[in-house]
Amino acid sequence: MYCEDGKVFVEKEDQCMSCKNFKKGVACPLLQALGLGMVTLEGIMYVTNCGFYAENRRHLKLIDQKHEKNN
Ligand code: SF4
């Protein structure tokens, strides 16, 4: 994660990529604080053990193609 021109950039190494709060944006207290300028970030920081982390789970169902073709 790093900041540039007032924007926050999250990288694939950051835990945020699979975090529910990152998907919602404003639900992340750290991103919110960085975005509002309440916290500054010098250089690059990798988020690996965030106390606010909430796993973003996908809820996909596999469709039985044989069953679909017969209908
Ligand atoms: S809550 Fe933590 S892990 Fe989730 S997006 Fe924010 S900083 Fe990243």
Task: For ligand 1, say whether the CB of 30 is within 6 Å of any of its atoms.
Answer: yes
Q: How far apart are CA 58 and CA 68, in angstroms?
A: 22
Mean pLDDT score, 10-34: 90
Q: Does the CB atom of residue 1 touch ligand 1 within 6 A?
A: no
* pLDDT for position 59: 80
Q: How far is Cα 56 from Cα 25, in angstroms, rounded to an integer?
A: 13
Flag whether pLDDT at 71 surpasses 60.
no
pLDDT at 16 over 70: yes
* Rounded Cα gap, residues 22 and 17, in angstroms: 7
| More confident call, 44 vs 60 | 44
| Six-digit token string for 71 | 């209908």
What pLDDT is recorded for position 23? Answer: 84
16 lines ligand 1 (CB under 6 A): yes
pLDDT band of 47, cuts 50, 70, 90: very high
Domain boundaries, the chain: 2-70
Identify which has the larger pLDDT, 25 or 12: 12
Q: How far, in Å, is the centroid of ligand 1 from the Cα of 33?
A: 11
